[in-house]
């Protein structure tokens, strides 16, 4: 057999059938479900009188609408409440595993899947959410789908798919101390653009990637979709296996041994050919900040905001002008001089324990700057929250003037009450800086957790390396 990529191998293992045009019926192992993109799928199933194919494949949780404060009051927004109740009812009706609001295991869907050991190497994982790419950190083929496809998986356990092209991004050499997975992925998006990975599955490779913890790999794969690729992959290694062992949904006993020996085959063969290869020098990656309204609008921390006049492509320079106007920024100003109003540490990109530790390390013994109206930390799950509390991180944040909140998607997309007001500027550890993403008229700058904490205590962007003790 010819040399295969990791993606080729996972794909081949899940092919139920393929037609002459290469259209494949792909088998799905894990289906993660949340309240926003599932109600119409459940309804569709019912209207067509179809059964659910394999309920054991589903793990459901409410996350997008969940308040992060005063949980004892429930969800006060009636529209949000109905959506969450609808999920609970649908799950109860079909007998699905669901972590309801208040459950000790509740949290953001892309945090709790791995945390529970529900995401395993070699699996196909789908969810009606574009950040499903997160689970690729485990060497699983994981991608976001729309509601019609959610219904399709519920009814048939399969999806009709065309195979993507293979792309590999190698970070050559190690990255410097204090450079995080978030900086790596923002640099990648800056290099290849938000459509750079369209039509591809991206495998991440190189020393800087294998050096990452599972938390870091999840941050990296999470934002693969911001580079245009539905799925990102990191090959399974001992770091992966050590992370999974002993988690509630992970295999045990004889099955564990069988699984591990299979997982160890899940890597790209030596001579496999990629449709596209990209190399980035790890040593050149600095702390990254987005300045505009697309995740590809990125600068390094000590750079100036770019000038559209220097961009020769007319469509691009027009996009840059729109972005500067929306963001209320001027070209050629150092990004470090930009003053902030709010700080958000959270989201499926950066709300795991390691993220909270990194932010707490910077916040420790310091105070949130006077110009910051709100600095909030939203753990990705209740289990992450408990872990952080057992390490005393909550107290560090509270002492510094941060708000310590309950888990959920929160101000990443502002479907609950956590949002920016028009014109407010936020350093955010989330994944999208689109217009209005964190609230209508809100201005988002994407950064790593440590950079967000550094911005909180100084009131503006600052090279976090100056604050590391």
Partner 1 sequence: MDKFQKFSGIVVAIDRPNIDTDAIIPKQYLKSIKRSGFGVNLFDDWRYLDPGEPGKSNSERRVNPDFLLNKSRFKHAQILLARENFACGSSREHAVWALMDFGFKVVIAPSFADIFYNNSFKNGLLPVVLAANLIDQLFEDFERQQDYQLRVDLENQLVTNRAGIQMPFEIDEFRKYCLLNGFDDIGLTMQHADQIKAFEQKYFAQYPWLQ
Footprint (CB under 8 A) of partner 1, residues 270-309 = 294
Give the interface size with partner 1 as a residue count (CB under 8 A): 76
Select from 8, 63, 115, 149 the one that contacts partner 1 (CB under 8 A): 149
35 Cβ neighbours under 8 A, 6+ residues apart: 62, 63, 64, 65, 83, 84, 86, 87
Q: Which is nearer to partner 1, 25 or 71 (CB)?
A: 25
Residue from 107, 113, 114, 144 touching partner 1 (CB under 8 A): that is 144
Which residues, numbered 165-224, are part of the site for partner 1 (CB under 8 A)? Answer: 194-195, 198-199
Least distance to partner 1, CB of residue 341, Å: 18
Query: According to the binding rule CB under 8 A, does residue 338 interact with partner 1?
Result: no
Strands 288-290 and 374-377, by their bridges, are: unpaired
316: contact with partner 1 by CB under 8 A: yes
Contacts of 355-359 with CB under 8 Å at 24 or more apart are 355/215, 355/219, 355/429, 355/449, 356/384, 356/388, 356/393, 356/449, 357/388, 357/391, 357/393, 358/180, 358/448, 358/449, 358/450, 358/453, 359/397, 359/429, 359/449, 359/450, 359/452, 359/453
Q: Which stretch binds partner 1 (CB under 8 A): 82-90, 102-110, 216-224, 369-377?
A: 82-90
Q: Which range in 123-131, 264-272, 332-340, 446-454 contacts partner 1 by CB under 8 A? A: 123-131
C-beta closer to partner 1: residue 194 or 304:
194
Shortest CA distance to 298 belongs to which of 184, 220, 218?
184
Minimum distance from residue 27 beta carbon to partner 1 (Å): 6
CB of 90 to partner 1, least distance (A): 10
How far apart are CB 202 and partner 1 at their closest, in Å?
Answer: 12
Choices 158-166, 170-178, 367-375, 447-455; region in contact with partner 1 by CB under 8 A: 158-166
Phi then psi dihedrals of residue 234, to 5 deg: -125, 130
Q: Which residues contact 312 (CB under 8 A, 6 or more apart)?
A: none
Q: Kindly identify the residues of this chain, within the stretch 395-414, that bind partner 1 according to CB under 8 A.
A: 413-414
Among 71, 97, 105, 262, binds partner 1 (CB under 8 A): 262
Place of tokens 């290099």: 191
DSSP H or E run through 59: strand 58-61
Residue 368's alpha-carbon distances to 205, 295, 428, 452, 455, in angstroms, are 37, 26, 15, 11, 9
With CA atoms as reference, report the closest residue to 130 among 59, 237, 225, 216.
225
The two structure tokens encoding residue 114:
């791995």
Which residue of 5, 130, 170, 349 would you call a contact of partner 1, by CB under 8 A?
130
36 lies in the binding site for partner 1 (CB under 8 A)? yes
Binding test (CB under 8 A) with partner 1, winner from 79, 261, 312, 469: 79
Q: Which is nearer to partner 1, 316 or 466 (CB)?
A: 316
In the complex, what is the shortest distance from the CB of residue 315 to partner 1, in angstroms, rounded to a whole number?
Answer: 5
Among residues 70, 76, 148, 238, the one that binds partner 1 under rule CB under 8 A: 148
Q: Does 435 bind partner 1 (CB under 8 A)?
A: yes
d(Cα 144, Cα 32) in Å, to the nearest integer?
10
Q: Confirm or reject binding of residue 361 to partner 1 (CB under 8 A).
A: no
CA pair distance 279, 154, nearest whole angstrom: 39
Q: Which stretch binds partner 1 (CB under 8 A): 211-219, 251-259, 366-374, 391-399?
A: 251-259
């Amino acid at each position: 057999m010819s040399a295969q990529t990791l993606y080729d191998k996972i794909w081949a293992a899940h092919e139920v059938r393929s037609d002459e045009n290469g259209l494949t019926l792909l088998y799905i192992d894990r289906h993660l479900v949340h309240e926003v993109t599932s109600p119409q799928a459940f309804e569709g199933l019912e209207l067509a009188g179809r059964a659910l194919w394999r309920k054991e494949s589903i793990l459901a949780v409410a996350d997008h609408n969940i308040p992060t404060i005063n949980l004892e009051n429930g969800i006060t927004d009636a529209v949000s409440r109905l959506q969450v109740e609808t999920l609970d009812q649908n799950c109860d009706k079909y007998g699905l595993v669901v972590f309801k609001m208040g459950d000790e295991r509740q949290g953001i869907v892309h945090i709790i899947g791995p945390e529970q050991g529900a995401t395993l190497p070699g699996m196909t994982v789908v969810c009606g959410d574009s950040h499903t790419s997160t689970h690729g950190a485990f060497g699983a083929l994981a991608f976001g789908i729309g509601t019609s496809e959610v219904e399709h998986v519920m009814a048939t356990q399969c999806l009709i798919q065309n195979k993507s092209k293979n792309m590999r991004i190698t970070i050559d050499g190690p990255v410097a101390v204090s450079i995080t997975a978030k900086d790596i992925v923002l640099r990648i998006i800056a290099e290849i653009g938000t459509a750079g990975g369209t039509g591809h599955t991206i495998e991440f490779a190189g020393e800087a990637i294998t050096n990452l913890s599972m938390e870091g790999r999840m941050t990296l794969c999470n934002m693969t979709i911001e580079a245009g690729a539905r799925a990102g992959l990191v090959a399974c290694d001992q770091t992966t296996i050590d992370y999974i062992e002993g988690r509630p949904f992970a295999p045990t006993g004889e099955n564990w041994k069988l699984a591990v020996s299979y997982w160890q085959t899940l890597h790209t063969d030596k001579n496999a050919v990629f449709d596209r290869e990209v190399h980035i020098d790890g040593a050149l990656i600095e702390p990254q900040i987005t300045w505009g309204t697309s995740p590809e609008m990125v600068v390094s921390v000590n750079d100036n905001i770019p000038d559209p006049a220097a961009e020769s492509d007319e469509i691009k320079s027009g996009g840059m002008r729109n972005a500067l106007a929306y963001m209320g920024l001027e070209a050629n100003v150092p990004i470090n001089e930009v003053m902030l109003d709010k700080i958000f540490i959270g989201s499926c990109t950066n709300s795991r324990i390691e993220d909270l530790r990194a932010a707490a390390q910077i916040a420790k013994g310091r105070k949130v700057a006077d110009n910051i109206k709100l600095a909030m930390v939203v753990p990705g799950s209740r289990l992450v929250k408990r872990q952080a509390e057992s390490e005393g991180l909550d107290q560090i944040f509270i002492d510094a003037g941060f708000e310590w909140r309950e888990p959920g998607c929160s101000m990443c997309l502002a479907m609950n009450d956590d949002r920016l007001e028009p014109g407010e500027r936020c350093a955010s550890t989330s994944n999208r800086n689109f217009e209005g993403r964190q609230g209508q008229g809100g201005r988002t700058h994407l950064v790593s957790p440590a950079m967000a904490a550094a911005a909180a205590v100084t009131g503006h962007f600052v090279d976090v390396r100056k604050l590391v003790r």
